[in-house]
A = this chain, B = another copy of it.
């Protein structure tokens, strides 16, 4: 679980957005939406950085991350053969709903990566699904084609309308009258909370600042509707829509 992974590649795929492929143990990955916690050796980045598993196979893990602060900036400078100390897989991940007929993947920005694994699973299971992907602007768009390649209808929307539709993901869902009876979502908290307020049912992946990433510090506790809580790193990051306290 505490392992050294080697960087195979680390390429820029959109504005400040990088795709990194890591070589190492993937045998413990159980579900799409799990994440890894990356140690970045620098005195300014004392804590690990949690990043979702976007895709994986028997030997590699793919992550997609946006340069946000110091840690992701350093991560973006890593090259082939550099080693990274990684804890993972962590968290629960998305559980594929095999009953709902028409499902929907709803991703915002760097919330999109973990949903790619969901899409692959839905595709494998022959479940019908559409995809709505929201970005800030044209320069931020990535992975649209990857979802199309799985045969899904992909609706791209940008806040400034520079690519696809204009507005947020809910705007598209409403204006296009997209029908679905279950969803998987990841993205900015605002987007997730807006979704929960609607009548849909589904699963949502949340972010919290983490001390440990494996359940030890109580840093990431998220209140749940049963007056209890879940640790985003352990019983999360994926919550059911009915659990979410807004």
Docked complex Cα distance between A43 and B45 (Å): 11
Which residues of A, 90-115, contact B by the 8 Å Cβ criterion? Answer: none
For A42, what are the chain B residues with a Cβ–Cβ distance below 8 Å?
43
Docked complex Cα distance between A43 and B42 (Å): 7
Copies in the complex: 2
Docked complex Cα distance between A42 and B41 (Å): 9
* Chain A interface helix/strand/loop/mixed: loop
Interface size class of A (residues with CB under 8 A): under 10
Which residues of A, 118-155, contact B by the 8 Å Cβ criterion? Answer: none
Residue of B nearest to A43 (CB): B43
Contact with B along A31-57 (1 / 0, CB 8 A): 000000000001100000000000000
CB distance from A174 to the nearest CB of B (A): 50
Docked complex Cα distance between A42 and B43 (Å): 7
CB distance from A167 to the nearest CB of B (A): 45
For A43, what are the chain B residues with a Cβ–Cβ distance below 8 Å?
42-43
Which residues of A, 72-100, contact B by the 8 Å Cβ criterion? Answer: none
CB distance from A184 to the nearest CB of B (A): 40
Residue of B nearest to A44 (CB): B43
Residue of B nearest to A46 (CB): B43
CB distance from A225 to the nearest CB of B (A): 43
Residue of B nearest to A42 (CB): B43
Which residues of A, 13-46, contact B by the 8 Å Cβ criterion? Answer: 42-43
Docked complex Cα distance between A43 and B43 (Å): 5
CB distance from A175 to the nearest CB of B (A): 52
CB distance from A27 to the nearest CB of B (A): 33
Docked complex Cα distance between A30 and B42 (Å): 37
CB distance from A48 to the nearest CB of B (A): 16
CB distance from A109 to the nearest CB of B (A): 32
A-B CB contact pairs (8 Å), 2 listed: A42-B43, A43-B43
Interface residues of A (CB under 8 A from B): 42-43
Top 2 nearest A-B pairs (CB, nearest first) are: A43-B43, A42-B43
